[in-house]
Structure 1
């Protein structure tokens, strides 16, 4: 039996996927979780073969959970499912050690197959998401520019961003103008929109 922990903050989806995976003869859902910290706790307690994680979860997203799992539970492989199939997310997931990455639109049989493949030491990447990631290219933003742009996405003024990022206001302005120039847009709001659409922030 392949033991699975499933984490998704949407109860209906989580319960439905758990039931569908439970119908497979060789898969057993040993625990479910509704957020990132609960997922980490369930993985630590149950030591599953595979963790199936939603990308967007409160507390810690699927990629953050995957990073923790890689450090603390190396025997557990991770599959991320997402309704946000942006290219940058796939690259971040792979860098975090995720072995499977697929959209929530796939049939349960495809998810079950991905779990088996990953449990057997393979990878499963949705072909369309993989093609998008290759064609999108790498983010032109430095990690610090991405951080500042992400804080700017909430509409905070420069002084607030500076306080939260522990930077001088002038440094924040420099990072924002650099990000705007690199992305070829006219202001930080457009920079946020473009970076988000590519999954770079």
Structure 2
């Protein structure tokens, strides 16, 4: 039985390499290659692949938010996250969104193909080192609003700009930033953004 695959990665070279490697397997067939989460959802709706392999960081809808929408658009499809960014928070969020597996891109080709088969069988596949890191890191300590504020602060935006973007008062933004800095153990908001980003909380 052939397992039909959808690949979503914004880097064409990586996408092409994954497609070539997986197509060497006699039981795997790549039916679509796309470069964004939005395209992944549309392709899943149209083609109903058996397994969708999604990168995390893509333009538009990222792989984690696309996961839930792919599953809603094509209920029979299973999602395997394949990413460069092996961050504990990403793993936790991906599984919460309904992903069946999470592996990093330097996984050997034979192991990746095996991960696809196992996910297709209904099993859960998670990179063991990342699973350990995720358990150690625990849940994000940030509230939803603190997360929003840090996301908006990542590009160096002023408090006033963040307040306009999120429709909050400047005082409220300062309070959320101060709380997030404390929770991440950072010295300032730039460092808080780095810590949160490194842990996959944003």
Tell me the distance in 1 between the aligned counterparts of 2:198 and 2:32: 33
RMSD: 0.9
The aligned counterpart of 1:36 is 37
Tell me the distance in 2 between the aligned counterparts of 1:84 and 1:143: 22
* Contact 1:148/1:176, CA 8 A, preserved across alignment: yes
Q: Deviations over 1:119-168 (max 9, x none)?
A: 00101100011111111111111011011011111100001001111111
1:1-201 equivalence runs, <5 A: 1-201=2-202
Tell me the distance in 1 between the aligned counterparts of 2:187 and 2:108: 41
Runs of 4+ in 1 over 3 A off after TM superposition: none
Tell me the distance in 2 between the aligned counterparts of 1:16 and 1:123: 24
- Structure 2: state its 5+ residue gaps: none
Tell me the distance in 2 between the aligned counterparts of 1:114 and 1:182: 36
* Contact 1:70/1:96, CA 8 A, preserved across alignment: no
Tell me the distance in 2 between the aligned counterparts of 1:178 and 1:75: 42
Q: How far 1:71 sits from its partner (Å)?
A: 2.1
Q: How far 1:114 sits from its partner (Å)?
A: 0.6
Q: Deviations over 1:10-62 (max 9, x none)?
A: 11111111111111111111111011111111111110010001111111111
* Contact 2:40/2:70, CA 8 A, preserved across alignment: no
* Contact 2:44/2:73, CA 8 A, preserved across alignment: no
- How many positions carry a matched residue from both structures? 201
Secondary structure of the structure 1 residue equivalent to 2:89: helix
Give the TM-score normalised by structure 2: 0.97
Tell me the distance in 2 between the aligned counterparts of 1:13 and 1:70: 24
